[in-house]
Amino acid sequence: QQQVKQSPQSLIVQKGGIPIINCAYENTAFDYFPWYQQFPGKGPALLIAIRPDVSEKKEGRFTISFNKSAKQFSLHIMDSQPGDSATYFCAARPGFSGSARQLTFGSGTQLTVLP
Amino acid sequence: DGGITQSPKYLFRKEGQNVTLSCEQNLNHDAMYWYRQDPGQGLRLIYYSQIVNDFQKGDIAEGYSVSREKKESFPLTVTSAQKNPTAFYLCASSIGASSYGYTFGSGTRLTVV
């Protein structure tokens, strides 16, 4: 129930395209859904995050869409650029109090944006 | 600048050796974490610590050990009991165990030779 399933494993788009990365979860106790961006040889960095009380959140060219009933959320990158080429991880965290509030990560999507 | 420093960047281990990965933060964060990253498997939690002198096992703690004697430091020892230690290891911290934002270090790549 702690698992977060991410797809696709890899994605190649042309510059200006709109890559979409999808994640699904089972645990209805999750209440925080962040996306992390990781460049080769570096640690992940927080990109954007959403709470389940909203269906969409935009920050610049990055948008999270959230479907609470389907238990799915996705990342869209508008007008993608070669500099967006990186590995993207979705994650989720339960909202109940206690020690088990660590992030559970998806398996990652390697995005390549061709010039 | 505040952040997390992991060292070394690359580490080579011989069969049967224990090695220790360093993680230091100057963010004044209470909680610290160790993750292992393998291709296609995302990030898996090894150990976490919510406060000094206390730590808990994550999903894949077997073959690893940690200590948290100082707030700033959370070293990870990969013991000889870890049969497949070759991976990218990431340390992270957060203000508290209940906080939302994780800050990651740049990682240590461990290779068994």
pLDDT digits (tens, 9 = 90+) for B23-81: 999 999 999 999 999 987 789 999 999 999 999 999 899 999 999 999 999 999 999 88
Q: Measured between alpha carbons, how far is A77 from A65 in angstroms, rounded to an integer?
A: 11
Bond preceding residue A8 cis, omega within 30 of 0: yes
User: A54: which DSSP letter?
Assistant: -
Say how many Å lie between the first and final Cα of chain A, rounded.
40
Whether the Cβ atoms of residue B105 and residue B23 lie closer than 8 Å to each other: yes
What is the signed CA dihedral for B27, A33, B55, B109, rounded to 10 degrees?
-70
Judged by DSSP in three states, A110 sits in strand
Give the closest of A6, A43, A97 to B90, CB-based.
Answer: A43
- pLDDT reported for residue A97: 57
CB contacts of A93 in chain B (<8 Å) are: 100
| Min Cα–Cα distance to chain B from A35, Å | 11
Q: Which residues of B touch A101 (CB under 8 A)?
A: 97-98
Residues B23/B9, Cβ–Cβ less than 8 Å = no
Chain B contact for A37 (CB, 8 A cutoff): no
* Record: contact A45-B104, CB cut-off 8 A: yes
Q: What gap in Å lies between CA A80 and CA B20, rounded to an integer?
A: 40
Which of A49, A93, A99 is opposite residue B56, by nearest beta carbon?
Answer: A99
Cβ within 8 Å, pair A102-B45:
yes
Cα distance between residue B77 and residue B56, in whole Å: 15
At A60-101, the pLDDT tens digits run 999 999 999 999 999 999 999 999 999 999 999 887 655 556
Longest dimension (CA), chain B: 39
